[in-house]
Amino acid sequence: MQIVSPRRKRKNPVNTTPYTTLSNVSQQKKKKWLTVGQKDQPIMIMILISLFLFGGIASRLTYFQIIKGQEFAEKAASNRTKIIPQAPVRGNLFDRKGRVLASTRLSHSAYLLPRIQIQPNWEEVKIELAQILNTTPEELEKKIQGENLDSPTLVKIGSNLTPQQITAIEENREVLGDVELNIETIRNYPNNRIASHVLGYTREINAEQLERLRSEGYRLGDVIGQMGVERGLEAKLRGEWGGIILETDGAGKIVRRAGVKEAVAGDDIQLTLDLELQKVAQEALGDRKGAVVALDPRDGAVLAMVSYPGFDPNIFSDNITPEIWQEVQGKGNPFINRSIVGFPPASTFKVVTAAAGMETGKYPPNTVLPTYAFLRRGGMALGEWNRAGFGPMNYIRSMAWSSNTFYGQIGYGIGGENLIEWSRKFGFGSKTGIELLEENPGLIADNEWKKSRFDMEWTGGDTINMSIGQGFTLATPLQVAGMFAIIANGGYRIVPHLENDPDTYLNQKTSLNMQPETLSTIKQGLRSVVTSGTGGGAAVPNIAVAGKSGTAEAPPGKSHAWFGAYAPYDDPSIVVVAFVEHSGGGGGSVAAPIVQRVLNSYFTDESN
């Protein structure tokens, strides 16, 4: 029997070192790394911070050089340049015969760069300059603050400098070293007060105007038309600015002229005014508050336009002191052009009432009406100016003697709506379209206007008042001249104008489509005013004159005097209207002689 012995088990050798695995190795390496990191930690932090800082610097450099590079380059360039603006020469104004009405003359102006405000001696400069330029430090501050600090364009701080002012600036260069002096042109009116309301004046643009007109290229220190044709024709007269670019070194000294943009002069404009006739009209009105208008009824060309009191527009070319301004303003509102301001037109308005009466068909040309001491209609009593009446009258005789009760009946009979309609056809209640932006439209009231103003309905009494040019009705001397022009030229409404462009304005005539009998009847009536009625004072030797007087009630003061006329009667070439405010006399005695003097001058001038 075979005996099998059991297998002997192998004994594990004894291991006195720790049992080693892969994880043990990793832990050992980690402990070693941590040991090293603890020693080098400050260095690593500094490296990280440096990387962060250098990255920020790099990003800012990228921003400044690439994104904002162009802007900073322009600012750097502006710090090395000065721009002396060159104002354009404003266009000249001439009368219809080529005589100068407005021109330019040379003067010196002072300029500063806007960045003067951040210089340490700005306060000292302001005080010194204000004393030399007869202004205040506050005013200088306002002028400078209107431009950006970084602007290289010099700002005008003084114009039309006297030799004494120029010398004072030069003698104080230690303080006023930044002040630039430059030669430029300023406006000059050689005839002083003549036609001042028509021509207007120029003056430096104010803050309100600059805000409104900056988008049109205006800038601080610009001279702009403020009134009259200087304002109305500003776009043509102005021209385009130029400038001189000067390159400077670090000390601000001029190194060279870097470039020039030539200024473009404004347009010269010939006006329709006749300078000599303007002078005669001004002398005829004298020192009485009022206006005189003369125009050509064929095309609306204004030959003369006078308003008193007036002013000398040259004062605005100088630095106006408060004392000078107060003196000018104290002369009865001299800047109001009474030629284009509304007043009650009185009996001159009977021309409209006559036309409306005939054109409606209710009162044809052969109408005869009784006249009364008083006309009682529409809740009112209209008195005849002679306090007795004239007996039966037709259009011609009633026009000659300016009967109130005759035309009161006509107006009441046709009604307010018809009279208002014809008033507006004649151009009343709206602007004429003349180039003077100060023009007032006058007033032709109606039921809607009265209700909104007084919360009352229109009445027959309102119509009667309107028929004789009283009540709410207001008309300007220019509008009254336009009314006479319609009768003179055969029934066409014209556009009064001052720019001498006859072809344009001839094409703007509008026919009122009046019947020939209507025009003929009114013309005969206006002729009889001068030959046998209230207007004998307007008669001119050897010239047939037609016209109409008017005396307007103007409580609480004295009455206004009107007279309007045209001549020659058969082929009219001129209309003249005179208005005297609060004259206290009648139109025939006060205003007619003024018209006569203007007409006489016009027809004795061989060049007309």
CB 606 within 8 A of CB 582: no
**If you search the block for the tokens 């030399």, which residue do you land on?**
132
Tokens representing 544 are 């047939």
Return the DSSP state at 331. T
The predicted pLDDT at position 512 comes to: 98
Return the DSSP state at 443. B
Amino acid at 164: Q
CB 158 within 8 A of CB 168: no
**If you search the block for the tokens 């702009």, which residue do you land on?**
224
Amino acid at 235: A
Handedness of CA 480, 484, 486, 487 (dihedral sign): positive
Tokens representing 560 are 């206004």
Give the span between the Cα atoms of 389 and 381, in whole angstroms: 13
Give the span between the Cα atoms of 135 and 127, in whole angstroms: 10
CB 362 within 8 A of CB 417: no
* Average pLDDT per consecutive 10 residues, the chain (608 residues; last block may be shorter): 39 43 47 50 68 62 54 49 76 97 91 87 92 90 79 82 92 90 88 97 88 86 92 94 72 61 91 98 97 97 97 84 74 92 98 98 98 92 95 98 98 98 98 97 98 96 97 98 98 97 82 98 98 97 98 89 98 98 95 98 86
Q: Within 10 A of 26 (CB to CB), how many other CB atoms are there?
A: 10
CB 480 within 8 A of CB 577: yes
The predicted pLDDT at position 30 comes to: 47
User: Which domains does the chain possess?
Assistant: 82-270 (3.90.1310.10), 275-604 (3.40.710.10)
Tokens representing 137 are 């430090």
CA atoms in the 13 A half-sphere facing the CB of 365: 12
The predicted pLDDT at position 145 comes to: 80
Tokens representing 515 are 């019947």
Amino acid at 374: F
CA angle 590, 592, 593 (to 5 degrees): 80
Give the span between the Cα atoms of 567 and 268, in whole angstroms: 32
The predicted pLDDT at position 556 comes to: 80
Rounded to two decimals, the pTM is 0.80
Give the span between the Cα atoms of 88 and 262, in whole angstroms: 9
**If you search the block for the tokens 């932006």, which residue do you land on?**
437
Name 91's Cβ contacts closer than 8 Å, sequence gap at least 6: 236, 237, 238, 239, 265, 266, 267, 268, 269
